[in-house]
Structure 1
Amino acid sequence: MKKSLFIFLFGLISSFSVLAQETVVKGSVKDAVTDEAIPDVTIAIEGTELKEQTDGFGQFVFKSAVPFGEQMLKISKSGFLPKRYPIVVNEGQTLNIQDMTLEVDKGSQSDLFTITLSDDELNDDTGGSDNISGLLSSSKDVFQRTAAFEFSSSFFRVRGLDSDNGTVLINGIEMNKFDTGRPQWSNWGGLNDVVRNQEFTSGLKPSTYNFGGVLGSTNIITRASSYREGGRITYSSSNRSYTNRLMASYASGLMEDGWAYTIMAGRRWGNEGYQDATLYDSNSFFASVEKKINEKHSINFTSIYAPNRRGKSSANTQEVYDLKGIKYNEYWGYLDGEKKNSRIKEVEEPILMLNHFWDISDKTSLNTNIGYQFGKIGNSRLDYPGGANPSPAYYQDLPSYALGDPDGPDYGAAYVAEQNFINNGQIDWDRIFDANLTNNISGNYAAYSLYEDRTDDKQWTFNSILTSEINENIILNASLNYKKLKSENFAEIIDLLGSTNGVLNVDSFSNSPFDENNPDAVAFEGD
């Protein structure tokens, strides 16, 4: 009787142990050459309808029950050669298949492309580039990846095309600007850890989200459930655009109650980068919250706020480089013993978006998104309606101007200009303030002022994207898009530089009034 009771209890305990153990199949996929994690790889179990995708860290977990016994895993992604892995699934055990690899499909290398994510845009008013910052490049070609990182889009462009020929999206919402057609990368600058999960489509190939451009499309995925659980703190030091960078992020992963959240904060700063007086001051904040309602519906809210200020660097001629070196920047001068840059770019455009994901069936899904972006972009510069051009590199003040005199080269004037430029060659803020103070006494308007070219935008975006796999050879994508933009463009006085009489609202070159209906208008700070 005791033996029977013992056998019964042993069998009962064993049964509970088996029931308590969960059968789990998980793993990771990485690039066979670079050893980097590959996101959005499809993991399928052949002979079943079970499929999962890797997250931003290349990890996957099968959430549905996997059949026991010998199975075949198929891993695949566009641009890579697919692979098959035999596995054995045992009941009540965890099968952890780490570091499966995929190799690049060499046959697709005719469609190689480069995506550059730069904090620094080419600027129309300088005719050149601002500070060259770090880049995030994605390409299957070693040369293109290296060229994109080392030279950036300022000096190297695929097929000579600018970035307005490529489309950038976040969760399916297009981020390219209406006026320039280019994305404003600094709107999410400093958030490297949460914008790594991206889907690339090269050239004019079909995209799940939109038609894209001739340089392809990039969709940045910020779903909270797509981030691997855990935290990260990163510190970096550089001598390019900024001196220091500090980032901290944390992701909860998908929790048992169906909620997931990811947060991140970052800061980049420096008194100057590689070129003189190129200050950098940037803060970045990110939050994404997702609620998985059931197996078919999920809602995600994302907010991005990345205000940044940076001092610009000038585009210089060879003559200027020969006299002052490659670090020279004409936009600054000493004021009260400190370097003051006259050209500051300030970007402050928060992004809010709400996304609904509906898995209608195993082969059909609907993604509906609404986004709102608002804020300002400002570029400051000196105006001189009542004074001489304050630029220290003004062409008439350089040696070449005297040497190119139609009556013959004036070597004496060229030597004086050369020595003056070498020994000084920066904005004379003291002279500018003195000119305005003198005009105050005489009752005249300001000879100089500091103003900002402003663009204030408010944009609503709505789209709904349907994806349906009709059969193994046909995939249908349909999209409905709507945008509404209100853009205000103007110049605003930010500093009268010692003047109390205001500045006459006229063009400094032609002396014609900006407002023909009010030709004698006087502007003060804030106007």
Structure 2
Amino acid sequence: MRILFFFFGLIQAAAFAQLPTKPILLKSKNQWVDSNLDKDGWKYFQDQYTNESTLTEGDEEVPFIPSLLQSGKDLFSALTGFSFSIRRFRMKGLSNRYFSQSIHEISMNQLSDGNIPWANWGGLNEVTSNNQYATGLKDNEFQFGALGNAVFMQLNASKLFPQTTVTLNLSNRNYHQRIAFTKVWSESKNGWSFASSIAYKQGVGGQLKANEFKGFSYFLSIDKRLRNHLFSLVLLGNSQMNTRTAAITEELAGLAASKQYQPGWGLQANKIRNANWQFNHQPMILFSHEYNLHEKIKQISTLLLSSGEKYTTALDWYNAADPRPDYYRYLPSFFTDSLLAQDVLSQIQLNPSQLQINWDHLYWINQNSSSDKRARYLLEDRVERNKKIALNTRYRIQLNNRLLISFQGQYRKEVYTYFKRINDLLGAKYSINWNQFAEDNLPNSTAIQNDLNHPNQIIRVGDSFGYHYAMHLSQWLIMSQAVYTMPKFDLNAAIEYTSTYYQREGKYRNGVFPQNSFGLSEPNYFNNGQIKMGITYKLNGRNYYYFRTAFSSKPPLVNDLYISPRINSLKQLDISNEWAFMVEAGYILNAPKLKITANAYWIRINNAMDVMSFYHDGYRNLVNYNISNIGTQMMGLEWSMAYTLFGGVTFNAAMSVGKYVYHNRPNYSVMADNEPYISEKGVLYIDQFPITGLPHLAIYNGLAYRSNSNLFLNLSSSYMGNQWLSFNPIRRTYDAAQNLPIHLDAEQIARPSSLPNAFILDFSAGYSCRIKKFKDGSAYYLQFFLGVNNLLNQSIITGGYEQLRFDIPGGDINKFPNKYYYSPGTLYSLSIKTKL
């Protein structure tokens, strides 16, 4: 901390010690540019700057080199952002909480899980592309930033490009048609600006037989400029309903003769019906105010209000057979008797419908298993409702031509309410709010009651059941940063402090945990901070070298703090703040024909936490694996290049190579949902185990052609390797390594499951033409864009996981084989846009 304050003091002392400077005149193509222009005005001339430019200080002439100004994506992100996404690539191997997104400077990262809810503004491509990016620890104007990257979205009507566009998209992805209309008016003479956009997306069938997608997006922005004030109102939202896909085993892909097999649907009255849906609608409204207090001081304030719901659907059953057709006990591989296995295989081959949900059979059981038609099967919604309020204020102070400082304060309050809701009783008349797992483990007791306050509650369609609780989360944040520009060096530093509050509120008094499930729990408070600083050496207007470092402390995510918040308020025993340390150094070349970026980094994260909940065959119950003291380390290199060859042809290349590992043995404990005690604990033997779920090696190459006639062509390839599946913790414990058969050893059990390397070929093309010109200079344009991914039509494994089951007595890792997600082959998207 002392180092940071010293750094801040050094910047400010240097600023106030400067003599008053004269306007700097920079010669470029016989034109002179005043350096007192806003920083963004320098970007156009950046490639022309060399040592010709000078700054007069006393009797000396010191070369003055412009700073790196970058409002769009850096070269590496621009080249790889889409191509690498098929394998769930994450920059620097970091988790989602180390990336940030804001709208009007309000953080969108959820306090509950750290994720960014991109779906909330999905479909509004024409307006949400007004972003600024800060990669890694680079300074930015708005916030502290993030270790991964930070995206800052500005949706003020007066800051959007005036346009009238109608867009039609045709695709064979999740949605097949999209139509959008966007209108952005120029600012009127009396200071009013308006912008609006609506979009509709839909798709049925296609490469996935049971696929269905419906989405409606809307956006409205109104600005009013009044002297030194800009008042803004923004409303946006996306109501979306779509089917979900599931991971499958290789055995299932073979039985169905298709890697696009999906078990979550079946025929009902000869019509396709899917059990796995997801819905999301969380609209938000923002009120913003910008006030120029002084020519060098600006205040920006924003209030956000949001309320909405999202849910996923799934089958649930009580005292009945598992209805899922991919349940492992229904497959040939489950049977050790070869004759039985062959018999099951023959039945599936003769009747492939066994691999789909038998909806008619579920209805028949519900209507005939009891005289009162109590539900044995039902379709449930797993609901998350949220309410959010946030207030942010930032002061931007340009003390002089060299020193820019800013101060930010932000308050966020988020309330998440979770419960299950009956979507469809599937022909039954009612159900009872009972816990069947407690009935099995604790018969003839009140433990069967999901809610002791309403015992034996009769529930019907629309009623909540199972669990019902709320999480109250809030956070205060203050931040300050400074950017100091010198002739050959740029310095930046930032500091941030947060105070975070978590508290659970139970709506049900659970029968297993009657004392600590209902009402408000004991709150938790966490105080955290982040600091970062960086220096950039400007050799000339084309060559830049930088070094940056940061320390970050974050509270545990609330979803990782509570063990089983569905039914009680118990928390992990080893609670601590998560902290990270990062250094990065790099080189940037911005020349007319050649652009290069190279960034080397080292990151160490300690004290992370996680909770994994799943059904455990040994316990015959839902269990919670509570993991603490997780340590990870990431080091690697990101490199990119764009070289203009000849005649509008550019060769692009990028590479990310890293080593991402766990650097210790985390602690774990196991608690079953219906047992009020820890049943086992120990350490996970994953030291030096690779971080899973993303490629550690990714390479991009591409040739792009752009002609003077507005034609664009791009052919690119991506190679991704060194990737491992999300792991099963049970296989990495002391118990799993004991009493193994002679032919097995612990290393075979613990070895990570790897994915095959992938090579992907993509193509894109764009063309723009003017179809009509008006006397006032405006014109109608017609734009086409075609993107084709996976040209070789490969069925690529995009991800997956080890099943959270393990044959401890036999040590057979193939008894519960890995599950994979497969790409659906070649995908295309054609966009046709008319623009005024």
Q: Distance in 2 between matches of 1:309 and 1:151?
A: 26
Q: Distance in 1 between matches of 2:219 and 2:412?
A: 24
Trace 1:1-12 onto structure 2 (pairs within 5 A): none
The one-letter amino acid paired with 2:434 is V
Which residue of the other structure, out of 24, 43, 46, is the alignment partner of 1:76? Answer: 43
Match of 1:304 in 2: 236
Q: Distance in 2 between matches of 1:475 and 1:82?
A: 24
CA contact (8 A) 1:186 1:306 kept: yes
CA contact (8 A) 1:386 1:448 kept: no
The one-letter amino acid paired with 2:345 is Y
The one-letter amino acid paired with 2:155 is T
Match of 1:369 in 2: 302
Match of 2:154 in 1: 221
For residues 410-437 of structure 1, the C-alpha deviation after alignment (integer angstroms, 9 at most, x for no partner) is 4434424642674531110000100111
Trace 1:456-467 onto structure 2 (pairs within 5 A): 456-467=385-396
Match of 2:367 in 1: 437
SS at match of 1:225: helix
Match of 1:265 in 2: 198
For residues 462-513 of structure 1, the C-alpha deviation after alignment (integer angstroms, 9 at most, x for no partner) is 010111223444321211111122221111111111111x112234555444
SS at match of 2:137: coil
SS at match of 2:294: coil
**What's the TM-score, normalizing by structure 1?**
0.72
**What's the TM-score, normalizing by structure 2?**
0.46
Q: Distance in 1 between matches of 2:209 and 2:110?
A: 30
Which residue of the other structure, out of 264, 272, 293, is the alignment partner of 2:226? Answer: 293
SS at match of 2:34: coil
Q: Distance in 2 between matches of 1:84 and 1:518?
A: 75
Q: Distance in 1 between matches of 2:263 and 2:333?
A: 17
Which residue of the other structure, out of 401, 406, 411, is the alignment partner of 1:482? Answer: 411
Match of 2:251 in 1: 319
The one-letter amino acid paired with 2:367 is L
CA contact (8 A) 1:147 1:156 kept: no
For residues 6-61 of structure 1, the C-alpha deviation after alignment (integer angstroms, 9 at most, x for no partner) is xxxxxxxxxxxxxxxxxxxxxxxxxxxxxxxxxxxxxx9833744485xxxxxxxx
CA contact (8 A) 1:398 1:421 kept: no
- Return closer, same or farther for 1:45/1:344 CA change in 2, 3 Å cut-off: farther
> When you count strand as a share of all residues, which structure comes out higher?
2
Match of 1:208 in 2: 141
Q: Displacement of 1:238 after TM fit?
A: 0.9
Q: Displacement of 1:255 after TM fit?
A: 1.3
- Return closer, same or farther for 1:201/1:146 CA change in 2, 3 Å cut-off: closer
Q: Distance in 2 between matches of 1:421 and 1:359?
A: 73
- Return closer, same or farther for 1:153/1:471 CA change in 2, 3 Å cut-off: farther
- Return closer, same or farther for 1:160/1:318 CA change in 2, 3 Å cut-off: farther
Which residue of the other structure, out of 476, 500, 503, is the alignment partner of 2:431? Answer: 503
Trace 1:382-397 onto structure 2 (pairs within 5 A): 382-397=315-330
Which residue of the other structure, out of 282, 289, 298, is the alignment partner of 1:356? Answer: 289
Which residue of the other structure, out of 157, 182, 186, is the alignment partner of 1:249? Answer: 182
The one-letter amino acid paired with 1:47 is D
For residues 435-478 of structure 1, the C-alpha deviation after alignment (integer angstroms, 9 at most, x for no partner) is 111135x2252000111011111111001011122344432121
Structure 1, 211-220 or 387-396: larger mean CA deviation: 211-220
The one-letter amino acid paired with 2:456 is D
CA contact (8 A) 2:106 2:302 kept: yes
- Return closer, same or farther for 1:425/1:147 CA change in 2, 3 Å cut-off: farther
SS at match of 2:319: coil
The one-letter amino acid paired with 1:214 is L
Q: Distance in 1 between matches of 2:352 and 2:93?
A: 36
> When you count helix as a share of all residues, which structure comes out higher?
1
Q: Distance in 1 between matches of 2:330 and 2:191?
A: 68
Unpaired runs of at least 5, structure 2:
1-30, 51-65, 440-447, 464-836
Match of 1:526 in 2: 462
Match of 2:420 in 1: 491
Q: Distance in 2 between matches of 1:337 and 1:188?
A: 36
Q: Distance in 1 between matches of 2:138 and 2:195?
A: 32
Which residue of the other structure, out of 277, 281, 298, is the alignment partner of 1:344? Answer: 277
Q: Displacement of 1:175 after TM fit?
A: 1.2
Q: Distance in 2 between matches of 1:344 and 1:162?
A: 26
CA contact (8 A) 2:92 2:148 kept: no
- Return closer, same or farther for 1:306/1:495 CA change in 2, 3 Å cut-off: same
The one-letter amino acid paired with 2:380 is Y
For residues 225-279 of structure 1, the C-alpha deviation after alignment (integer angstroms, 9 at most, x for no partner) is 1122220000011111101010110011111111000011100001135323121
Q: Distance in 1 between matches of 2:100 and 2:49?
A: 33
Q: Distance in 2 between matches of 1:278 and 1:45?
A: 59
- Return closer, same or farther for 1:244/1:317 CA change in 2, 3 Å cut-off: same
Q: Distance in 1 between matches of 2:234 and 2:32?
A: 32
Unpaired runs of at least 5, structure 1:
1-43, 54-73, 86-104, 116-136
Q: Distance in 2 between matches of 1:483 and 1:437?
A: 49
Q: Distance in 2 between matches of 1:372 and 1:191?
A: 19
- Return closer, same or farther for 1:430/1:139 CA change in 2, 3 Å cut-off: farther
Q: Displacement of 1:323 after TM fit?
A: 2.5
Structure 1, 467-476 or 219-228: larger mean CA deviation: 467-476
Q: Percent identity?
A: 24
Q: Displacement of 1:361 after TM fit?
A: 3.0
The one-letter amino acid paired with 2:322 is N
Match of 2:96 in 1: 163
Q: Displacement of 1:382 after TM fit?
A: 0.7
Q: Distance in 2 between matches of 1:368 and 1:328?
A: 50
CA contact (8 A) 2:255 2:349 kept: no
Which residue of the other structure, out of 55, 75, 79, is the alignment partner of 1:140? Answer: 75
The one-letter amino acid paired with 1:431 is H
Which residue of the other structure, out of 357, 371, 377, is the alignment partner of 1:448? Answer: 377
CA contact (8 A) 1:272 1:280 kept: no
CA contact (8 A) 1:386 1:446 kept: no
- Return closer, same or farther for 1:278/1:161 CA change in 2, 3 Å cut-off: farther
Trace 1:122-141 onto structure 2 (pairs within 5 A): 138-141=73-76
- Return closer, same or farther for 1:509/1:45 CA change in 2, 3 Å cut-off: farther
- Return closer, same or farther for 1:506/1:417 CA change in 2, 3 Å cut-off: farther
Q: Distance in 2 between matches of 1:281 and 1:138?
A: 30
- Return closer, same or farther for 1:342/1:138 CA change in 2, 3 Å cut-off: farther
The one-letter amino acid paired with 1:76 is K
SS at match of 1:46: strand
CA contact (8 A) 1:273 1:279 kept: no
Which residue of the other structure, out of 46, 56, 61, is the alignment partner of 2:33? Answer: 46
Match of 1:419 in 2: 349
Q: Displacement of 1:193 after TM fit?
A: 0.2
Matched, 1:184 2:114: no
SS at match of 1:307: strand
Q: Distance in 2 between matches of 1:392 and 1:150?
A: 34
Structure 1, 358-367 or 312-321: larger mean CA deviation: 358-367
